[in-house]
Amino acid sequence: MMRLISRYQVSGLSGSVQRTDFNGRIVDYWAPENETYHLLIAHDGQNVFDHRTATRHRTWRMAQSAVRVGSELGITPPAIIAIFHSRSPENPWGRLIDLAPQDPYQNGLHPPAGVEAAVTADQLAGNAYLERITEAIAPSIAQVLGLDIDNLNKAIIGSSMGGLASLYALGKRPDFFTTALALSTHWSAGENPLVDALIDQLPAPGNHKVWMSHGTRGIDANYGPFQRYADQKMLDAGWHLNRNFKTQVYRKSGHNERSWARYLDQPMRFWLT
């Protein structure tokens, strides 16, 4: 059941963001005034619109980028659904439980040495999280907005663990999503075996798009070798670079909302073009 909590304004954005409660999970959403044919679903919804809930009070400025790119392309910008993760003082590993790719870890993938968490593979709930998004949250919000969920061009976006979750979502539900936008994909959580698991389960190239990117500072500095391995696997599988697959390295960019906001218009344009 969806319950409206509040509405709030975002600087530089027409209309208001709606904050809702889906049986305990907070979801924010925004839609342009005109009918749109595009829907962007974002992990880590705390960081999407509202600086009051965002990490270090920095948001992705996602809707502002959507409006700008839509204007450049001459199209109505996408509606945006921002899914809050479930980490809390009572559930400190909630984000990991939501976003870690469940099937690979439950099928024997082991985190590399030194990567520790107080969570076992059988506690992961990424499949239920994804099902809730695709079967309840997105359809309910689309209905409220008067949009036909089956005919929307739907992308999913995330950073770090959210990047992993976005690739996983496209592999699990290629019938629902057209595109995965994975920023600062946290390959360190499983290294090349995790790359194999997620790239191998993507749909055959042809009707979908995949974006992957990372910076060179902070945690992002560790991703290069794994991302190059992922890129080669994509090419070997028949994905066409710069057409339905894009990989990008951002020099002097780090693992934070400010960095992702700076180049968010680029993956968004790749998806919508």
The pLDDT of residue 116 = 65
Please tell me the pTM assigned to this model. Answer: 0.97
Mean pLDDT of 165-179: 98
Q: What pLDDT is attached to residue 208? A: 98
Is the dihedral angle over the CA atoms 95, 99, 104, 106 positive or is it negative? Answer: positive
Question: Residue 114 pLDDT more than 80?
Answer: no
CB 93 within 8 A of CB 87: yes
Q: What is the pLDDT of residue 5?
A: 96
Cα separation, 257 vs 199, in Å, equals: 25
Q: Torsions phi, psi of 195, nearest 5?
A: -55, -50
- Contact by Cβ (8 Å): 100, 189: yes
| Helix H or strand E segment including 83 | strand 79-83
Higher per-residue confidence, 111 vs 181: 181
User: Given this model, what pLDDT does residue 117 score?
Assistant: 75
Domain boundaries, the chain: 2-272
Give the tens place of pLDDT for each residue, 225-248.
999 999 999 999 999 999 999 999
Q: Which CATH number fits domain 2-272: 2.30.30.90, 3.20.20.60, 3.40.50.1820, 3.30.470.10?
A: 3.40.50.1820
* Residue 259, token pair as written in the block: 């960095």
**Within 13 Å and on the Cβ side, how many CA atoms surround 9?**
4
